[in-house]
Amino acid sequence: MLKESRYVRLSNTMYRVLRSSRIPLFLHRKSNHVFTMWQHLILLTIKQYEGKSYRMFVEWLVEAHYLRLFLGLSRIPHFTTLQKFTDRINNALLEKIISSFIVISGTKHIIVGIDSTGFKITHASQYYAELTGARRKHAKLSIGADVLQQIICNSRIRRAPTRHDNIDFRPIITRTSNILPLSVVTADKGMIVRTIIGW
């Protein structure tokens, strides 16, 4: 019997999500079939959870004996294998996976909260940007989440600066309502008022 570490529990949850979202085991019929998409996606999830680089994560994986057994890894992937797989993931695939988390929770209706935040997409410091005249790049992330389950149901990422966050309100509500019926919708006053005016 495998030791129930947090990584095995996380992997088990991811298996349930991937099964629910009907993600295929392989992207292409003629792929080499050494690693499945499910194995790649679970490894990338744990890599993100650990906050490690690709190189460091693969080295960490050497010591993660129980996790490798649970995932059925015949060998440890090279770090570039994970990098290349990341580049092949498209938004539609990610949306299917994200939306399946709320489905497997068993809830019947979503009490959705919508909010946005901005973040830097470069590692350049403010000093370096001012010194070189480089433009600091930002992105805007808008999410719709079930506030009771605290599960993200939908997200949208845009380059910033852009117009007000209200342009994301309708798409997120529409796509979230396609997952499960909505019972309540909450957002900050600015987003709701601007959206109603421009609806």
Q: Where are the domains of the chain?
A: 6-89, 107-198
Report the length, in residues, of the chain. 199
Q: Lowest-pLDDT range, 45-49, 84-88, 167-171?
A: 167-171
Task: Round to whole Å and give the CA distance between 97 and 124.
Answer: 32
User: Using CA atoms, how far apart are residues 34 and 74, in angstroms rounded to an integer?
Assistant: 8
pLDDT-derived band at 155 (thresholds 50, 70, 90) equals: confident
18 has pLDDT over 90: yes
Q: Strand, coil or helix: what is 146?
A: strand
Structure tokens at 116: 């946005």
pLDDT in tens, 34-71: 899 999 999 999 999 999 999 999 999 999 988 999 99
Cα 71 from Cα 62, distance rounded (Å): 13
Which of 27-31, 101-105, 131-135, 142-146 has the lowest average pLDDT? 131-135
Residue 187 has pLDDT above 90, yes or no: no
| pLDDT reported for residue 58 | 94
Q: How much is the average pLDDT of 29-33?
A: 73
Looking at residue 3, its pLDDT comes to 54
Rounded CA separation 151/171 (Å): 18
Residue 195 banded pLDDT, cuts 50, 70, 90: low
Written as six digits, the tokens of 186 are 């909450």
Instruction: Tell whether the model's pLDDT for residue 197 goes beyond 50.
Output: no
pLDDT at 159 over 90: no
